[in-house]
Amino acid sequence: MDLKTYIRDVPDFPKKGIIFKDITPLLRAPEALEFTVDALARPFRNQKVTKVAAIESRGFIFGSCVARILEAGFIPIRKPGKLPWTTRRNEYQLEYGTDALEIHEDALSSQDRVLLIDDVLATGGTAAAASCLVRELGADLVGVAMVIELSFLHGRTKLNGIPVHSLITY
């Protein structure tokens, strides 16, 4: 399936000069959504993943479905102030500003093998911050899976050799 046909370019969003890759056409097409979730999980089926961690908010859509396929638990990684328990925090640079992510301190342990999911890998700052949180809690990060990779932004370089699986590359 050619998933690129389900991605809409939105110029000047969230600010001038950025071409946003909109996944909502993919989400509203059941066959594309099913294909995407299965394709994200496929390379990790034999990796003994115990937890799927996903980044707020679009990562949650895919991450929870992948967790179900892999028979793993689901761990939300959220913006500051959104989690109700004691958290770990990591601040990072975006392609258009700064932000931070948090995870519950008791979400993962050294016994966990984690797959990290999000919708887009751009500059790599968000994924790198999330991967740091996973590792700070002692878990083994087995890979990162993204629907879209903007390869011209070289986001993989910030992931320091973590295996990256992306379905669509621009």
With the C-alpha atoms ordered 86, 109, 72, 78, is the resulting torsion angle positive or negative?
positive
Q: Where are the domains of the chain?
A: 3-169
> What pLDDT shows up at residue 168?
98
pLDDT given at position 92: 85
Distance (Å, whole) CA 24 – CA 3: 12
Nearest to 148 by CA among 70, 48, 32: 32
Q: Is 75 exposed, middle or buried (0-12, 13-18, 19+ CB in 10 A)?
A: buried
**Residues 94-149: pLDDT tens digits?**
666 789 999 999 999 999 999 999 999 998 999 999 999 999 999 999 999 999 99
95: annotated active-site residue: yes
* Percentage of the chain lying above the pLDDT 90 cut: 93
Which tens digit of pLDDT belongs to each residue from 13-26? 988 998 999 999 99
Name the catalytic one among 42, 58, 113, 135. 58
Q: Is 58 a catalytic residue?
A: yes
Q: Counting beta carbons within 10 angstroms of the beta carbon of residue 36, is it exposed (0 to 12), middle (13 to 18) or buried (19 or more)? A: buried
Catalytic residue (one of 34, 91, 95, 136)? 95
pLDDT band at 81 (very low <50, low <70, confident <90, very high): very high
Q: pLDDT per residue over 9-66, tens digit each? A: 999 998 899 899 999 999 999 999 999 999 999 999 999 999 999 999 999 999 999 9
Q: Could you give the dihedral angle defined by the CA atoms of residues 150, 3, 15 and 130, in that order, rounded to the nearest 10 degrees? A: -60
Q: What are phi and psi of 102, to 5 degrees?
A: -135, 155
Note the CATH architecture for domain 3-169. 3-Layer(aba) Sandwich (3.40)
